[in-house]
């Protein structure tokens, strides 16, 4: 439970307690239950229609939020996972594979978090090591070689910053991914499904279309780390989250994202089915549109997109 949801959770618990009682013996109980249900819905509407950027970050991090492996399982068929970077080993924090969506064969990439403690430890909580990025780059090159589009799912707090990762060339591996994506002669569709933290997300998160879920975020730095740098204290995360312009709506307004996928009140974890359907529709539409663009023009447009990010304008 997220702290800002506490009032709703407490009312929902009261509602569950009331529903356990025998309605037949208490004439006014059914009416009380109906009133409480209406109150909960009104509170949800008021709360979730005015979320702050920091609250959206918390929803993006919700442990029950659908993960890359869920989207792969529901949206794609004929999935063949690719493992290993052909240099050091495999990294479970990064998914790479071949799959089919709406009849289109493609390469799928995605940060992979766990659904329980043991999985999260094994997958490093979705923060890839260099071998994870090298595996992703290997899959990108396969996509180009066999003329397959790339679909990439973003959900990471960032690349793993440990000493062993640096010793194995973390920054180099990320840079090579960026270089490869910038010139990849095949369509690249990116979907932000949760967290999008720094270079760890950018390494597989730059393409021809950026589709963001309503409560996902994409940022150069986490709100906590930004707060720590600016204020020497992570407690200003709510303030820095607003300043970073990291929400899906912000990215759409800045011209970085192309589309925002609506989520149910409270987040995608509350009712994943319609979210899966909307994401599939957005991916399929993007792939169909991009398939009509010649490869050289596609690469040129992609590089123009990259060059346009962060341009400054001087007001008179």
d(CA 45, CA 55): 15
Q: What is the pLDDT of residues 95-111, one digit of tens each?
A: 999 999 999 999 999 99
Helices (H), the chain: 6-19, 29-48, 53-60, 68-75, 117-122, 130-145, 163-167, 170-183, 198-202, 223-231, 237-243, 248-253, 272-291, 295-308
pTM, 2 dp:
0.88
Q: Under a CB-based contact definition with an 8 Å cutoff, are residues 94 and 136 in contact?
A: yes
d(CA 263, CA 183): 33
Q: What is the pLDDT of residues 217-253, one digit of tens each?
A: 999 999 999 999 999 998 999 999 999 999 999 999 9
d(CA 5, CA 250): 23
Give the residue from 86, 106, 105, 83 showing the smallest Cα distance to 96: 83
Confidence tier at 312 by pLDDT (50, 70, 90): low
Summarize the confidence of residues 131-153 as an average pLDDT: 97
Q: Which of 35-44, 48-57, 233-242 has the lowest mean pLDDT?
A: 35-44
Q: Which residue has the higher pLDDT, 42 or 139?
A: 139
d(CA 194, CA 258): 16
Per-residue confidence (pLDDT) for residue 311, from 0 to 100: 65
Percent share of the chain, pLDDT over 70: 95
The CATH T-level fold of domain 56-308 is 2-enoyl-CoA Hydratase; Chain A, domain 1 (3.90.226)
Whether the per-residue pLDDT at 31 is higher than 90: the answer is no
Chain CA centroid to CA 244, Å:
17
Give the residue from 305, 137, 287, 293 showing the smallest Cα distance to 207: 305
Q: Under a CB-based contact definition with an 8 Å cutoff, are residues 127 and 92 in contact?
A: no
């Amino acid at each position: 439970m997220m702290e800002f949801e506490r009032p709703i959770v407490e009312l929902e618990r009261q509602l569950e307690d009331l529903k356990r009682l025998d309605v037949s013996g208490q004439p006014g109980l059914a009416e009380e239950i109906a009133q409480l249900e209406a109150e909960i819905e009104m509170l949800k509407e008021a709360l979730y229609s005015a979320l702050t950027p920091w609250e959206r970050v918390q929803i993006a991090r919700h442990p029950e939020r659908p993960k890359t492996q869920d989207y792969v399982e529901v949206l794609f068929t004929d999935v063949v996972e690719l493992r290993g970077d052909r240099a050091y080993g495999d990294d479970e924090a990064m998914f790479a594979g071949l799959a089919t969506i709406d009849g289109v064969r493609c390469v799928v990439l995605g940060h992979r978090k766990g659904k329980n403690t043991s999985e999260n430890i094994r997958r490093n909580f979705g923060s890839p090591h260099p071998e994870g990025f090298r595996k992703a780059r290997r899959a990108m090159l396969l996509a180009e070689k066999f003329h397959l589009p790339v679909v990439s799912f973003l959900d990471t707090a960032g690349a793993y910053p440990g000493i062993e990762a640096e010793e194995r060339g973390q920054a180099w591996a990320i840079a090579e991914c960026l270089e490869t994506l910038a010139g990849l002669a095949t369509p690249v569709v990116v979907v932000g499904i949760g967290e999008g933290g720094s270079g760890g997300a950018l390494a597989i998160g730059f393409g021809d279309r950026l589709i963001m879920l309503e409560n996902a975020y994409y940022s150069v730095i986490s709100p906590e780390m930004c707060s720590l740098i600016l204020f020497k204290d992570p407690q200003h995360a709510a303030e820095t989250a607003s300043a970073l312009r990291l929400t899906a709506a912000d990215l759409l307004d800045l011209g970085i994202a192309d589309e925002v996928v609506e989520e149910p009140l409270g987040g995608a974890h509350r009712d994943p089915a319609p979210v899966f359907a909307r994401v599939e529709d957005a991916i399929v539409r993007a792939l169909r549109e991009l398939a009509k663009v010649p490869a050289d023009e596609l690469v040129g447009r992609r590089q123009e997109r990259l060059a346009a990010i962060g341009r400054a304008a001087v007001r008179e």
